[in-house]
Structures are given as C-alpha cells and as structure tokens.
Structure 1
C-alpha cells in the first residue's frame, strides 16, 4: 500500500490531471460508496481528445465558471486504475482540500490502483498508526 486515508460513504475526492493537448486541468470527481468508488462528475475547460462530448443516461452538461461540467455520471467501480503521467498529465489526488501529487507516491509511468474498503479493527488500528485509513493507493 502506497497511501491511505479514512473516508465515509458520501465523501468526495478529485483525480486531477493536465490534458495533454489543451494543457488545462481536468477534474474527475469521485464519490465514496460503501465498498466502491462512484464516478460522479467531470470538469474540464474545453473539448479535447479523450474528453466526453456526448451524454449518457441521466447525465447533464452545463457551463460553470468558464468550464464544462458533466454531472450524474454515477458509474460504480470497485477500483480505479491509473498510469501516472510521465510528461504532461501530472496526476494529483485532492482529498479534504489537500493536494497529493501521485508522482510522490509512485514514479511517473507506473500504474496505481485507487480503491476503498472496510477493514477489521486490528488492520484499521495498525494502518492508522502507520498511514491513516481505508481509501488506498496500491501498486
């Protein structure tokens, strides 16, 4: 385990990266479920390669503060795998207002997995003493 943090269902976090073409930030807003992560919304400045341009199901799109925002994505994931960008992406995790550059957890070009789960009391206490909680990045 590279990093962990205590969370509760309903908490939100952001995976932030720089778009390789537009060089603007993209925020993927993630909501914590019981034992899953739910992709809640995405925020970006302009349409570009790999960014959503169509809506699905109950998704809505609006212009907010000069940025596009797609809400109600509601895609449940047991885990989210990321390759830490080597050149432009500069992936970051934003939790409780704290910005954590992923390249400080693992070298650029490596993959990490973000997941959430419950722990038994012994594991939780051990993890809290050394690293903090149950939202976790692992290699």
Structure 2
C-alpha cells in the first residue's frame, strides 16, 4: 500500500514537533510547590553558573547570603555563607576544609562543598525579604528578584536543577528581572 505523498512529510513534521516539544533541551533551577511536581517558577541556569539566596534573619534582622553553584551532574553546591551576626541558626565556625573569615563587619565561611540534589526553601512569612540573585560571576551583570514577586509569604518549595523540555519550560513561570 502506497501512502499519499503528503502523509510522509506530515509524519516527519509531527515527529520533529514532538521531539522539539518533549526532549529536554535546557537546564533550569526549578521551584516546585511544596513536595509536588507543580512548577511554581523556574530560572534558566547552566552548569557552572552561580546563584545566591539572600534572606533577612528573623531575629537579628540582618542579611544572610547563601551562595551556590550548579555542578556538572546538575546538583547544587553551596560554596559560601555570609552573615553579620552570630545567633540562632548561624554557624560559629568553619567545618574541615573550609575557611572562616571576618571581613568588613561580615563573617564568611568559604570553600564549602555541601552538595544538594534538592533543597527545601521557605519564603519568609514574618520577615519576608528573601531574594534570589544570579549572574554574579565576572563579566556578567547581577540580577535580583524578590521571592514575594513570585511566591506567597510563608510558602515552601522543593528546589532542584533539571533539564526541561520546551513544553515544561513554557508551562512554568520564568523568573526574570
């Protein structure tokens, strides 16, 4: 049986469209609502790129900066922690292999190698001043958004780096300045 000449090109076009829509093509930092598969927001990001989560400590009301890097196997590596005051939840020293420094009124824990396949993050409720910063490497312009522009105060998320298809990418809310 011979197919009409138009069917073969249509089948090829349909196959290419399906591949384009459903084959992962881009990596992103994905914020899933709580412990579900519902994408609340996503930030396009590549291996080796960095981002920061800055939050206002609810007791001493100073900024705490957590710095992360995307590893080659799409995990999240915490490499630095910066804060201004000791208190509840703040480390008092560095772990083995890390360095602890006090520079210009801030405490730095550097050379961290904490690896996370996922992270659970809560947007502040009482003191809701969480921020996401990316593009802070040399020769890149830094970008910052407030969590409250994307998430309800008090909401929590599972965050991980994933390869997304165009379909997944179009379904999520893209984080941008």
TM-score range, shorter chain: 0.7 to 0.9
- List runs of 5+ in structure 1 lacking aligned partners: none
Which of the two has greater helix per residue? 2
Q: How does 1:30-41 map to 2 (within 5 A)?
A: 30-33=68-71, 34-41=73-80
Match of 1:43 among 82, 88, 94: 82
What RMSD, in angstroms, separates the aligned Cα atoms of the two structures? Answer: 2.1
Match of 2:149 among 85, 104, 108: 104
Deviation at 1:127, TM superposition (A): 4.7
User: Counterpart in 2 of 1:84?
Assistant: 123
User: Counterpart in 2 of 1:118?
Assistant: 163
Instruction: Determine whether 1:2 maps to 2:43.
Output: no
Deviation at 1:85, TM superposition (A): 0.8
User: Counterpart in 1 of 2:63?
Assistant: 25
User: Counterpart in 1 of 2:94?
Assistant: 55
Deviation at 1:131, TM superposition (A): 5.2
- List runs of 5+ in structure 2 lacking aligned partners: 1-38, 136-141
In 1, Cα distance between equivalents of 2:132 and 2:101: 24
Matched residue of 2:112: which SS? coil
Deviation at 1:104, TM superposition (A): 2.0
Instruction: Determine whether 1:75 maps to 2:120.
Output: no
* Structure having the higher Rg: 2
**Contact 1:5–1:131 (CA under 8 A) maintained in structure 2:** no
In 2, Cα distance between equivalents of 1:102 and 1:35: 23
Matched residue of 1:126: which SS? helix
Deviation at 1:77, TM superposition (A): 0.3
Deviation at 1:89, TM superposition (A): 4.4
Deviation at 1:54, TM superposition (A): 2.3
Instruction: Report how many aligned residue pairs link the two structures.
Output: 130
TM-score by length of 1: 0.83
Matched residue of 1:107: which SS? coil
TM-score by length of 2: 0.66
Instruction: Determine whether 1:95 maps to 2:140.
Output: no
Following TM superposition, the consecutive aligned residue runs of length 4 or more in structure 1 with deviations greater than 2 angstroms are 125-133
Map Cα deviations across residues 19-63 of structure 1 (whole Å, 9 max, x no partner). Answer: 112111000001111211011110011211100102212110112
